[in-house]
Amino acid sequence: MSRAPIDPAIFPSLTEVAGSLARSVGAVIRSLRDAGVDVAATKSSAVDVVTAADREAERLLAAGLAELRPDDGVLGEEGASRAGTSGITWVVDPIDGTVNYLYQLPAYAVSVAATVADDSPAGARAGNTADGRRAVAGAVYLPVTDELFTAFEGGGARLNGEPLTGPAETELGTALVATGFGYTVERRTEQAEVVRRLIPQVRDIRRMGSAATDLCLLAAGRLDAYYERGLQPWDYAAGALIAREAGALLLGRDEALPGEPMLIAAAPMLARRLQAEIAAAYAEL
């Protein structure tokens, strides 16, 4: 049975929900961090960690959504999973940048995105998450700098309420390019080889440790480009929407759509140039 499309008129209110929950949960994780943090468990490998704060933050996000949006579904990095009836599913990452959080490094974020089912190529190009859902509203909150990035589809992106104009075009040779690495040895070895081929061709590489943060810094023009292979939907659902609404072009590898296999984001000409270099690097692996 096909569902009636979600009315875009509700996107601003979904953004309000995302922003207020990201901010309040961000304040909680910052104070938990100050009280001290330990690894609670590991996930895909010994270096892929989860802390008690990740779990508590996800519990708070799920509880807040159950109260504010009881008919919506929820999908969270730490296992939150609720089927909804409204057609909207919230994709949440309670702490994106958990390793930074553990080490008391500032680049960690709360990421909250409202998504709708959409597996059309046009929807995917517009920033689908990997599981055939399109983010329509979202927020990423950086507790350490008290920066709240928000966006909704067609509404532009904002930082603490001020409009963002996105990254400027620059040549690849003067581009500051952020990327990230997966948690398994095989994936990292491949990613390191791609970086080895790229680094002589760019201004420099940054590995911030939080994909949601990377995408928001790109939206704010503090990075020129970002790419990563192997992201999970909660890592980028909100951040990709914010980058795109700020004016970045999102691309995948070769003709593939942007998403889990590869997400490239930059001003349009640079995004295409970087896509070609990444394709060449992978072709030589």
List of residues contacting ligand LIP (CB under 6 A): 77, 93, 96-98, 180-182, 209-211, 228, 231-232, 235
Question: Judged by CB, which is closer to ligand LIP: 64, or 209?
Answer: 209
In the bound complex, what is the minimum distance in angstroms from residue 107's beta carbon to ligand LIP?
9
Comparing CB distances to ligand LIP, the nearer of 6 and 242 is 242
Nearer to ligand LIP, 6 or 102 (CB): 102
Between 99 and 148, CB nearer to ligand LIP: 99
In the complex with ligand LIP, the residue whose CB is nearer, 112 or 116, is 112
- Return left, alpha or beta for 259; rule: phi > 0 is left, psi -120 to 50 is alpha, else beta: left
Who contacts 7 (Cβ-Cβ below 8 Å, separation ≥6)?
A: none
Q: Which is nearer to ligand LIP, 96 or 153 (CB)?
A: 96
Q: Minimum Å distance from CB 125 to ligand LIP?
A: 22
8 A C-beta contact, residue 79 and residue 206: no
**Which residue number, 11 or 78, has a Cβ lying nearer to ligand LIP?**
78
- C-alpha 211/C-alpha 239 separation (Å) is 8
CB 83 within 8 Å of CB 63: no
Looking up tokens 């409009």, which residue turns up? Answer: 163
Cα gap 180→178, rounded to integer Å: 7
d(CA 236, CA 127): 9
Minimum Å distance from CB 209 to ligand LIP? 5
| Minimum distance, C-beta of residue 71 to ligand LIP, in the bound complex (Å) | 27
Taking alpha carbons only, the member of 2, 8, 51, 12 closest to residue 28 is 51
What's the token pair of residue 131?
């599981």
Give the Cα separation of 247 and 250 in Å (integer). 9
CB of 210 to ligand LIP, least distance (A): 5
Gyration radius of the chain over CA positions: 18
- For residue 39, which amino acid is it? V
Specify the DSSP class assigned to residue 139: E
Q: Looking at beta carbons only, is 77 or 153 nearer to ligand LIP?
A: 77
Measured from the CB of residue 191, what is the shortest distance to ligand LIP in angstroms?
A: 9
Residues β-bridged to residue 142: 147
Report, in Å, the least distance between residue 267 CB and ligand LIP: 21
Dihedral sign, CA of 198, 204, 209, 211?
negative
CB of residue 178 to ligand LIP, shortest distance in Å:
9
Residue with nearest beta carbon to ligand LIP: 180
